[in-house]
Amino acid sequence: LKKCFDKGWVYKGRDVMPWCARCGTGISQHEIVTEGYQEVTHESVFVRFPLVGRDNEALLVWTTTPWTLSSNVAAAVGPELTYVKVQHEDGWTYYLAEEAAKQSLIGKWEVVDKMPGEALVGWEYVGPYDELPAVQKAFAEAGYTHRVIPWKEVGADEGTGIVHIAPGCGAEDFELSKENDLPVVAPLDENGIYIDGFEWLVGRSAHDVAHDVFEDLNKKGFYYRKQRYAHRYPHCWRCGNELVYRLVDEWFINMGELYDKPREEVTPEEKARSFRYQIMDAVDQANWYPSFGYDREMDWLRNMHDWMISKKRYYGLALPIYECRECGHFHVVGSRDELKERAVEGWEEFDGHTPHRPYVDAVKIACPNCGKPVERIKDVGNPWLDAGIVGISTMHYSTEPEYWRKWYPADWVSESFPGQFRNWFYSLLAQSTLMADGVGPFKNLFGYSTLYAEDGREMHKSWGNMIEFNEAAEIMGADTMRWLYASCKPEQNLRFGYHVGDETRRRFIIPLWNVYAFFVNYAQLDGWLPNGETAVSDNPAHAQLDKWIVERLNETTLAVREALNVFDSERATQHLEAFLDDLSNWYVRRSRRRFWKSEADADKAAAYATLYHVLVEFIKLLAPFIPFITEEMYQNLVRSVDENAPTSVHHHLYPQADPDALDRRLLDKMRLAITTASLGRAARSSADIKLRQPLAKARVNVGSQQEQDDLLELADVLTEEINVKEIEVVSEVGELVNYKLLPNNRVLGPKFGKLFPQVRKALMALDAAEAARKLQAGESLTLTVGDETVSLSGDDVLVQTESLGGTAVASDKGVTVAVDIELTPELIQEGYARDVVRMVNNLRKEAGLE
Ligand SMILES: [Zn+2]
Ligand SMILES: [Zn+2]
């Protein structure tokens, strides 16, 4: 604040601000925007403002806040709106907006004249509370009488199109008073009670005078009618009371001018004068996650008003502003030392206390201007001042600058972002800009959205959907909770609850535990212990499988590190979940027999060594996400057999892999096999044939020659996975499916109009398979229609596939699999035989036979 003061940026201003009468405090623009509006119904009122010098002629004015009428100063019209003069059966002649007449007037009336709003500007009228001393005093001082002013914002959708203006009771009204040089009549004290000068209203609360105001207006002949009116109205975010608008003295930091030109054209001199541009430089220095945070912060800096830093409270940061009552000069004290030096009384009372009320207020300093003793202003600081200085105050900025410099700025700051671009993030940036000479407060800013209950609503105890943390940790497990959080996109709201928890556990935690338990059970049965050696299977297919899962682990390690480097835990969890899927549903499933068999050969040793290695490295990767489960596994897998190993999984460095050493050929090949197998099974299931039933053949089409070779090499794996006798690779996808081209009528109709029937005809005449291939490759189709050549893209044409007779087809990622679904008697017999084997095995298991 002292630095701002030295730059001349601190000033005392008057402001009409939203105010909670119950809390006795102003509510900032930030706080209202964040969570302040509620739907409420008020009693609104239509009022006559009789025109001076015209018999029985009046403006008809409407307001939803009758308590503000005592402070009326002007009536605003839209200069370009059309107004009407209306002869009413009640004997009055009213002026109001033409469009508003029907909604405002009751009884019989007729329009006798029309005019633009401009024509009304300057008309003088009799105010509804001209008898009040406060009004007379303010008007006399300003040499003013009530009059009509122009205001572009006036519309005719609601009310009468003539707006009651009370600059002491409304923020926009206050702005208008500055533009039009209007007096300000401020009626309320800090508890929302009428102050002296308002006669019968004095001592009463603004919240409960509406009905008496109506009666009073009626008695005086101003009242026309009332109307219940539902609208969104600001409320106190702390206590829920309706806010009023109140004129107050507040302290501000000048944010500087917003120049009407692109930021890069702002000169150094202009920037030196404008705090907001200096803060923008600090915004540039950080990485923002999610990236839209950068734009939101910049948007706020472009649009924010001066920063109001004072708060009318007792507790809080005592603002070190000393304002002299004698000469009006104010001074900002920058440190305890400066306060001691300037103190003329009360230092002993304060000494030994923190700089808070009441002790700090005992100290008076000599006015640097006139020398009179001056006390501190009563205001405390906006809490965001406190919050934003954290990286400076807690890091010994004043006492140990070397230490502070070593740690500043923070590597990472994280907070739920709703509201914070205007509050905490902003305050951190502003104060760092000042204190650290333009160095931003953080290198990385990670924001995340809001947490809701799984029914999509906020959590409330009274709604029965609130879950207390300890209860959730107990029931769903802290690791499940962590995985749930880590796997949520930070920009999306997180839905939290036991169903989501169960789903998370089923999706990841249980399959992980199953792989671990599988390994541990068989290792115990076989008495297998890790000896640090890697065995290689003598079965080439198995050796390849072992190599592949290690490569997949390395690939995952690289991907997870890359995601975590940019704080993207959600992407990291996706890679980790995909790896677990491959480990569980491919590697372990395809290796099961290697663990089951009785002979302890090299193949089995290789399977153990590989799975052990992969599990241990995998839990190291997972440790920051699910620290408890991984620690449990680590203790059992590693510590129980190696007492020299680090005591905890969390004592290991995070796994690393060499991107250049990655066997991408092998990874691509196995990925293709996994995709093909899963498509083959999907095709079978689309034809409702269970996997146990052997089928004759699966035919596969893939893109490149390399992929065709890979498939043939892995044919044994695929025949097993899809349960077919034979895999055939075909080079033309047309051999597997029939393509049908359909014009996308909704696009093509408007595009070609009369030509459309001919375009459709030409499209139908194309070789469908060839056209489909082109479209899937992102190419366009060229048609000749009469003398014209037209071009169609993927959006213009719908491609339908249908399987050929006797096959079931599935297709994805450039792979198409067609499974022969014709069942011969031999295949059916074989299916029965498999069923029998399966049943016998189940019975043996139930009987406890080995
Ligand atoms: Zn309140
Ligand atoms: Zn002074």
The three-state DSSP-derived secondary structure of 264-297 is HHCCHHHHHHCHHHHHHHHHHHCEEECCHHHHHH
Q: Would you state the torsion angle of the CA atoms of residues 378, 383, 389, 390, taken in this order, to the nearest 10 degrees?
A: 130
**Helical spans, DSSP H, in 91-226:** 101-104, 133-142, 171-180, 210-220
> What domain range includes position 178?
37-234
Asked whether residue 702 is assigned to any structural domain, the reply reads: yes
Dist. CA 246 → ligand 1 center (Å):
14
Residues 641 and 744 grouped into a single domain: no
pLDDT score of 735: 82
Distance (Å) from CA 342 to ligand 2 centroid? 13
- Chain center to CA of 422: 14
Q: Indicate the helix (H) or strand (E) that contains 240.
A: none
pLDDT at 34: 61
366 Cα: distance to centroid of ligand 2 (angstroms): 8
**Alpha-carbon gap, residue 605 to 82, rounded angstroms:** 92
CATH label of the domain that carries residue 319: 3.40.50.620
* Ligand lying closest to the C-alpha of residue 244: 1
Cα 233 to ligand 2 centre (Å): 42
**What pLDDT score was predicted for residue 800?**
79
Last residue of a domain, one of 402, 421, 447: 447
How far apart are alpha carbons 491 and 555 in whole angstroms? 27
The Cα-based distances of 54 to 217, 343, 578 in angstroms read 20, 64, 83
CA of 662 to the centre of ligand 2 (A): 76
Separation CA 612–CA 600 (nearest Å): 16
State the angle between helix axes of 705-713 and 664-686 in degrees (0 to 180), rounded to the nearest 10.
80
At residue 850, does pLDDT exceed 70?
no
User: Same domain, yes or no, for 49 and 185?
Assistant: yes
Please compute Rg for the chain using Cα positions: 39
Residue 188: predicted pLDDT? 95
pLDDT at 332: 97
Cα torsion angle, 540, 541, 542, 545, sign: positive
Q: Work out the average pLDDT over 711-725.
A: 93
Ligand located closest to 241 CA: 1
310 C-alpha to ligand 2 centroid (Å): 21
List CB contacts of 330: < 8 A, sequence separation 6 or more.
Answer: 12, 321, 322, 323, 324, 377
Phi/psi for 402 (5° steps) reads -65, -45
Instruction: Please give the distance, rounded to the nearest whole angstrom, from the Cα atom of residue 322 to the centre of ligand 2.
Output: 10
* Same domain assignment for residues 626 and 521: yes
> Residues near 777 by Cβ (< 8 Å), separated by ≥ 6?
none
Q: Is residue 256 part of a domain?
A: no
Residue 758 CA to ligand 2 center (angstroms) comes to: 91
Beta-ladder partners of 802: 738
Whole-number pLDDT of residue 32: 75
Ligand nearest to the CA of 18: 1
Cα–ligand 2 centroid distance for 329 (angstroms): 5
- The CATH number of the domain holding residue 60 is 3.90.740.10
Domain with residue 520: its CATH number is 1.10.730.10
> Distance between CA atoms of 453 and 356, rounded to whole angstroms?
40
Tell me, in angstroms, the distance from the centre of ligand 2 to residue 326's CA. Answer: 5
Q: Specify if 762 maps to a domain.
A: yes
Number of domains in the chain: 5
Going from the Cα of 34 to the center of ligand 1, the distance in angstroms, rounded, reads 15
Between 411-425, 447-461, 535-549, 726-740, the lowest mean confidence (pLDDT) is in 726-740
Q: Does residue 272 surpass a pLDDT of 90?
A: yes
- Rounded to whole angstroms, how far apart are CA atoms 745 and 105? 53
Q: Which ligand is nearest to the CA of 19?
A: 1
Measured distance CA(641)–CA(652) in Å, rounded: 17
Q: Separation of 93 CA from ligand 2 center, angstroms?
A: 56
Same domain assignment for residues 127 and 179: yes
Least confident of 178-182, 311-315, 437-441, 642-646: 311-315
pLDDT above 90 (res 56): yes
**Same structural domain for residues 658 and 756?**
no
Question: How many residues in total does the chain contain?
Answer: 850
- The H or E element containing residue 716 is helix 715-722
pLDDT of residue 779: 83
Q: How many whole angstroms separate alpha carbon 441 and alpha carbon 439?
A: 7
Q: Are residues 626 and 770 in the same domain?
A: no
DSSP string for residues in 615-658? HHHHHHHHTTTSHHHHHHHHIIIIITT-TTS-SSGGGSPPP---
Per-residue pLDDT, averaged over 43-65, amounts to 95
Q: How far away, in angstroms, is 374 Cα from ligand 2 center?
A: 7
Q: What is the pLDDT of residue 212?
A: 95
Q: Please, which pLDDT band fits residue 812 given cuts at 50, 70 and 90? A: confident
Q: Which two tokens stand for residue 370?
A: 């006139």
Answer positive or negative: Cα dihedral of 559, 562, 564, 568.
Answer: negative
pLDDT for the residue 6: 96
291 in the same domain as 184: no
Residue 165: pLDDT band with limits 50, 70, 90? very high
What whole-number distance in Å separates Cα of residue 622 and Cα of residue 640? Answer: 20
pLDDT of 373 higher than 90: yes
**How many angstroms separate the alpha carbon of residue 238 from the centre of ligand 1?**
5
Is 802 or 57 the better-scoring residue by pLDDT?
57
- Taking CA 101 as the corner, what is the angle to CA 98 and CA 106, rounded to the nearest 5 degrees? 165
Residues near ligand 1 ion, CB 5 Å cutoff: 20, 22-23, 236, 238-239, 241
Give per-residue pLDDT as tens, 581-618: 999 999 999 999 999 988 889 999 999 999 999 999 99
Q: What spacing in Å lies between the alpha carbon of 250 and ligand 2's midpoint?
A: 19
Residue 28: pLDDT above 80? no
Residue 472 alpha carbon to ligand 2 centre in Å: 60
Report phi then psi at 716, rounded to 5. Answer: -60, -45
Which listed ligand is nearest to 331 at the C-alpha? 2
For 738, the token pair is 């029939």
| The pLDDT of residue 35 is above 70 | no
List, in sequence order, the alpha helices (H) in 78-146: 101-104, 133-142
Ligand (nearest to CA of 22): 1
Q: What's the Cα-to-Cα distance from 541 to each of 536, 544, 586, rounded to whole Å?
A: 11, 5, 13
Whether 22 contacts 207, CB under 8 Å: no
The reported pLDDT for the residue numbered 346 is 96
* Ligand number with the minimum distance to the CA of 373: 2
Please state, in angstroms and rounded to a whole number, the distance separating the CA atoms of residues 73 and 139.
9
Residue that is last in its domain, among 662, 680, 698:
662
Given this model, what pLDDT does residue 299 score? 96
Distance (Å) from CA 93 to ligand 1 centroid? 43
- Using the 3D structure, point to which of 608, 630, 662 is the last residue of a domain: 662
Q: How far is the CA of 6 from the centre of ligand 2 (A)?
A: 18
842 within a domain of the structure (yes/no): no
Q: How far is the CA of 243 from the centre of ligand 1 (A)?
A: 8
Name 591's Cβ contacts closer than 8 Å, sequence gap at least 6: 542, 545, 607, 611
Q: What's residue 238's pLDDT? A: 84
Place of tokens 């018999």: 55
| Mean pLDDT of the 255-259 span | 95
Give the ligand with the smallest distance to the CA of 368: 2
**Chain centroid to CA 661: how far?**
39
Say how many Å lie between the CA of residue 364 and the centre of ligand 2. Answer: 12
| Cα–Cα dist 235/34, whole Å | 11
Lowest mean pLDDT among 27-31, 95-99, 609-613, 669-673: 27-31
**Looking at the DSSP assignment, which residues form a beta bridge with residue 11?**
252
Please report the pLDDT score of residue 694 as a whole number: 92
pLDDT at 239 over 80: yes
Instruction: Determine the distance separating the centroid of ligand 1 and the alpha carbon of 305, expressed in angstroms.
Output: 23
Q: Measured in angstroms, how far is the CA atom of residue 373 from the centroid of ligand 2?
A: 8
Q: Is the pLDDT of residue 517 over 70?
A: yes
Q: Which ligand is nearest to the CA of 323?
A: 2
Closest CA to 307 of 257, 253, 258, 379: 253
Q: Within this chain, do residues 173 and 305 fall inside the same structural domain, yes or no? A: no
Percentage of residues of the chain with pLDDT beyond 70: 99
Q: What are phi and psi of 783, to 5 degrees?
A: -120, 145
Within a domain: residue 504? yes
Q: Distance from the CA of 24 to the center of ligand 1, in angstroms? A: 7
652 has pLDDT over 80 = yes
pLDDT of residue 723: 93
CA nearest 382: which of 313, 322, 296? 313
For residue 20, the CA-to-ligand 1 centroid distance in Å is: 5
Select from 325, 72, 313 the least CA-distant residue to 190.
Answer: 313
CATH number (domain holding residue 811): 3.30.2320
Helix segments in 487-536, DSSP class H: 498-504, 510-526
Distance 368 CA to ligand 2 centre (A): 7
User: Is 322 part of a structural domain of the chain?
Assistant: yes
Residues 312 and 355 in one domain: yes
Q: Which ligand is nearest to the CA of 364?
A: 2
Tell me how far the alpha carbon of residue 386 lies from the centroid of ligand 1, in angstroms.
21
Q: Say how far apart CA 608 and CA 619 lie, in whole Å.
A: 16
59 backbone dihedrals φ, ψ, rounded to 5°: -80, 145
**694 in any annotated domain:** yes
Cα(568)–Cα(446) distance, integer angstroms: 9
Do 185 and 130 meet the contact criterion of CB atoms below 8 Å apart? Answer: no
pLDDT at 237: 84
Give the Å distance between the CA of 323 and the centre of ligand 2.
Answer: 8
Q: How far is the CA of 371 from the centre of ligand 2 (A)?
A: 6
Q: Output the CA 137–ligand 2 centroid distance in Å.
A: 28
In this predicted structure, the answer to whether residue 555 has a pLDDT above a threshold of 90 is yes
Q: What is the CA(36)–ligand 2 centre distance, in A?
A: 40
Q: Does residue 132 form part of some domain? A: yes
- Sole residue written with tokens 């009666």: 215
pLDDT at residue 410 is higher than 90: yes
User: How many whole angstroms from 199 Cα to the centroid of ligand 1?
Assistant: 27
Contact 511, 588 (CB under 8 A): no
Instruction: Answer yes or no: do 502 and 631 share one domain.
Output: yes
* Ligand found nearest the CA of 372: 2
Q: How far apart are CA 610 and CA 604, in angstroms?
A: 10
State the ligand closest to the CA atom of 36.
Answer: 1
Residue 356 phi, psi dihedral angles, 5° rounding: -125, 165
Question: Distance from the CA of 33 to the center of ligand 1, in angstroms?
Answer: 16
Residue 30: which pLDDT band, with cuts at 50, 70 and 90?
A: low
Q: Any idea which ligand is nearest the CA of 239?
A: 1
Q: Is the pLDDT of residue 29 over 80?
A: no
Statement to judge: residues 279 and 298 lie in one domain: yes
Single-letter amino acid code for the residue at 8: G
For range 559-573, the mean pLDDT:
96
CA 699/CA 697 separation, integer angstroms: 7
CB 398 within 8 A of CB 435: no
397 token code pair: 């900025």
Using the structure block, give the residue that is written with the tokens 């459709």: 760
**C-alpha 11 to ligand 2 mean position (Å):** 16
Output the CA 240–ligand 1 centroid distance in Å: 6
Residue 550 has pLDDT above 80, yes or no: yes
Task: Examine the domain organization and report whether 399 and 528 are in the same domain.
Answer: no
Q: How far is the CA of 189 from the centre of ligand 1 (A)?
A: 15
Per-residue tokens: 278: 């200096």
How many whole angstroms separate alpha carbon 666 and alpha carbon 700? 19
